[in-house]
Structure 1
Amino acid sequence: MQLGNDTLERKSLLEEFVVEIDGKIISSKTKVVLDAETGLMLTIISRPQRNIINVLYNNAGIIFSKKDIKEIGWPGRVVSNSSVVVAISEIRSVIGNNRIITISGEGYLFNSLL
């Protein structure tokens, strides 16, 4: 995967993944976010949001620009910056506000130091 102004490899976004963040299980296979302890459904999230979570989580501490986030969430599609802002907001509501940090003028990063 390449970062910055380069295009992210779309192939890596098609691979299956499962991540657990603070007791929440997020999988590429389903929109459903599960409680890791009980297995119960907590909420649902979209494919773009799942892809963004996966890439940020697996690259914790690396800053991703809005352009990067667009390519991660909506590869090959034209979307507005507001789509990124809304997706990040919805992701924060699922995994916690302190997990995705906004770096003003640069982008977003996943905070793994909790």
Structure 2
Amino acid sequence: MYTTICINVPPKERKTKEQIAAAAAASGRSKKKKWGKGKNKEKLNHAVFIDKSLQSKILEVQNMKVITPSTISDKYKVNLSVARAVIKYLAEKNLIKEVCIQSHCQKLYTKVA
């Protein structure tokens, strides 16, 4: 029932020490994996101070429906600290009013009706 199949396999070639050394030298060293740097965001060049031309533009903020530090920072290209200072100034002058008092992180303001 069972059949046996015999296959003659040729003997394995024996390499000499010189051949092994030559093969190792030819292959070279395996290179180290280079880790990717990831995605680099482009550095934003926002203003840190408010000059005269920017001051007149920023006073238009009081006409916006939704006022947050991020919207001012994006629209007028100023730092968030400057945007918060502008909002604080406009709120003290009663030109804008605070809407959301719940959140302590992101303040939300709107124009005075």
TM-score greater than 0.5 by the shorter chain? no
Larger relative strand fraction: 1
Rg comparison, structure with higher value: 2
TM normalised by structure 1 equals: 0.37
TM normalised by structure 2 equals: 0.38
